[in-house]
Amino acid sequence: MKRFTNSIRLSLESANWYSALTTALTLPDVCGRLDTPNEGVGQRYKRWFSEWMLHNYKHEVGADREEVTFLSGSDCYALRCSYLHEGGSDITQQNAREALSNFHFITPPPKGSVVHCNKIDDALQLQVDIFCNEMADAADRWFESVQGDEKIMSRIEALLLIHDSKNGIAF
């Protein structure tokens, strides 16, 4: 799994935002399939997100400290579908969406400022580096949690691997 999470972090270091976001949005697919391969794609994506990422997007707001979910598994899955299949962020056409209609990703502001998880009406603004790092961190935590599961580890071994050609090309 480190090859995927390291790819995200390297993309962020080089400001390759779209590559980082693409890989980050696929992590719940990959981890979810490794975890429960017989579950439907959307269902396992949402389940994995809810278990490993949702805590980042639930915040207490207002004077009465009401808990608000800024990003659900359903809305993240709808974003994944819109972005990976169409290159868009408008999720109004996605049947999987829950509360949001659109996403606005921004690059890191200057001087270490943070502009992340701002909701205006039904659009969510996310700082791309924070979102991608949170996904990578969640996948790393998930991987650590399944280390003793032989079936999952066997499925991980079957994931695509880009081979280094420096030592010759072999099959």
Q: Is residue 169 domain-resident?
A: no
Q: Is residue 68 domain-resident?
A: yes
Boundaries of domain holding 15:
2-163
pTM listed for this prediction: 0.91
Q: Is residue 16 domain-resident?
A: yes
Q: Is residue 147 domain-resident?
A: yes
Quickly count: other Cβ atoms within 10 Å of residue 133's Cβ.
Answer: 17
Instruction: Return the pLDDT at 135.
Output: 98
Q: Is residue 14 domain-resident?
A: yes
Residue 159 structure tokens: 């994931």
Chain mean pLDDT for the chain: 91
Count of domains forming the chain: 1
Residue of 141, 104, 107 whose CA lies nearest to 17: 107
Instruction: Return the pLDDT at 170.
Output: 61
The CA distances from residue 50 to 17, 28, 114, in Å, are: 24, 10, 24
Instruction: Return the pLDDT at 59.
Output: 87
* Rounded mean pLDDT, 59-65: 83
91 confidence band (pLDDT: 50, 70, 90): confident
Q: Is residue 134 domain-resident?
A: yes
Q: Is residue 171 domain-resident?
A: no
In the predicted structure, residue 110 carries a pLDDT above the cut 80? yes
Q: Is residue 82 domain-resident?
A: yes
